[in-house]
Amino acid sequence: MGVPFLLHTHQRSIWFCLLLVLFVQYWQPTTSSATYLVGLGSYDITGPAADVNMMGYANMEQIASGIHFRLQARTFIVVEPGGKRVAFVNLDACMASQLVTIKLLERLKSRYGDLYTEQNVAISGIHTHAGPGGYLQYVVYIVTSLGFVRQSFDVIVNGIEQSIIQAHENLRPGTVSVNKGELLDAGINRSPSAYLNNPSPERSRYKYNVDKEMTLLKFVDDEWGPVGAFNWFATHGTSMSRTNSLISGDNKGAAARFMEDWFKQKSLDEIDIVYPEGLDTLKINEGSPRRVSTIIPRLPSGVDELKQIASSFQASGGRQVTRSFSATRRLRSSFRRGNRPKFVSAFCQSNCGDVSPNVLGAFCTDTGLPCDFNRSTCNGKNELCYGRGPGYPDEFESTRLIGERQFRKAVDLFTTASEQIKGKIDYRHTYLDLSHLEVTLPSSDGNKRVVKTCPAAMGFAFAAGTTDGPGAFDFQQGDDKGNAFWKLVRNLLKTPGKEQKECQHPKPILLDTGEMKKPYDWAPSILPIQIIRIGQLVILCVPGGTCFLHINLFVI
């Protein structure tokens, strides 16, 4: 796909930055009390549950063999009456896919015309490492799945389309509120030594070495009341390890299901407004062997309630029946609940970078001692260094606990949300060739210098993995030298040129992915940048880091 306007790369980037500044500076929220049209939807995207490689850890031995719990695509649509609309889709998948987006937009165009396009539809993945792979179009992302997997691709495209259709058909007058708060025990920095290399003035700007803030949107239907919540919080979907073979939404997928079940129970008056210690009931006996976590609470039965109401009517003996207002109201209320839009809750990924859910830290599997602080190794081997979640050694329990912590914070923000989103809806979208950008940097002498980006390349440290999922062989985190043997292996695939080596310095190149084109591109160079504005809320969608699509929220 080409860039939609004919300017040189550096000029495009300058214009995009200027647009972003104008976007934030001049589009201030209005005082209008007009409501939006709000619609939410969700649909299954579980995909093949056997014999397909999982996406995330790049481990060829991690083949799906069952389901921990099913995956969903969740969508919210917000429409300004008489104005623009935006659709945001959150996937229980490792990441979004440009190929999926292209096919989805084709379907939406055939159904809705120009109502939903690449301009106003944003798709984000929760970064679970326990979903089926093979649905992206670049070699790096599908090499471990041995190529494209049609089943994985089709179910995601269909699930997103159906969730958008649901949200579109559920559009009704409503409001959106926003709330923010700190969640301290659901993520730690898995590379604290690297963080300490940042300049002291930079580190002093932040309270923690990772982002601890959760931001939540609460959607309220004018007739039905609350109908959903989407929140953004930074922590990786790696509570489930690289040896797991069960499809799972990991901690964020678990949190979403907890909150949706919580609201079902709350709406039927079976639990209090503050969720009790009910999640403890999800545990099973300590001595029981467990392969699949009992993650879903028992759902209430509306049929039983209707039976109780029906049994409360007394036989009339053929006489005229006196209307019972209370019983009739209860019966009508029960039937009306069947027409209520289902509550949709999404736990979206944010700037998760080096944020790990394995909050106990990283330890050596052979000695039980903490891993080397700087290299994350155990006696020089990175394969033995693993992060531990709060439920260690049970990764299902760790998934539940990190999901529960996010869920509880979301409930707190949901029940106390009071700042209403008001104002215009708008969006911007463009494509940038990130391999040839010019960037102006300040220098120590007060002058400025222009530097250029170059095609993507993976370094030796990349192959070492992380404490969430260590790599193999003798690679180490932080390696800035390389290794003669692996350089020889690299050169069999593609030998990086002098200019590429200088541009990537001091990182030694293991795979020159940005310049590898056989049998087709190994990595993307042209990538989408997107901004969505809903009143005083701006959602910035940018590709980068380990999270293919970061979502950062700024309240202006």
Please give the structure tokens belonging to residue 408. 């509880």
> In which residue are the tokens 């259709």 written?
165
Contact 65, 263 (CB under 8 A): no
Q: Which amino acid would we find at residue 68?
A: H
- Whether the link from the prior residue into 442 is cis, omega within 30° of 0, is no
CA 411, distance to chain mean position in Å, is 18
Name, in order, each residue with C-beta under 8 angstroms of 253's C-beta and a sequence gap of 6 or more.
Answer: 69, 71, 72, 92, 126, 128, 237, 347, 403
User: Of the listed 13, 124, 356, 398, which one is catalytic?
Assistant: 356
Beta bridge partners of 124: 90
Q: What angle is formed at CA 348 by the lines to CA 343 and CA 353, rounded to 5 degrees? A: 170
DSSP state for residue 28 in the 8-state scheme: P
Name, in order, each residue with C-beta under 8 angstroms of 91's C-beta and a sequence gap of 6 or more.
Answer: 45, 71, 73, 123, 124, 125, 126, 156, 160
C-alpha to C-alpha distance for 70 and 292, rounded to whole angstroms? 12
C-alpha to C-alpha distance for 187 and 128, rounded to whole angstroms? 15
Active site residue 333: no
**Nearest residue to 40 (alpha-carbon basis) of 215, 250, 220, 241:** 220
CA distances from 392 to 284, 365, 381 (A): 16, 12, 22
Beta bridge partners of 247: 67
> In which residue are the tokens 């509306």 written?
302
Residues with a catalytic annotation lie at: 356
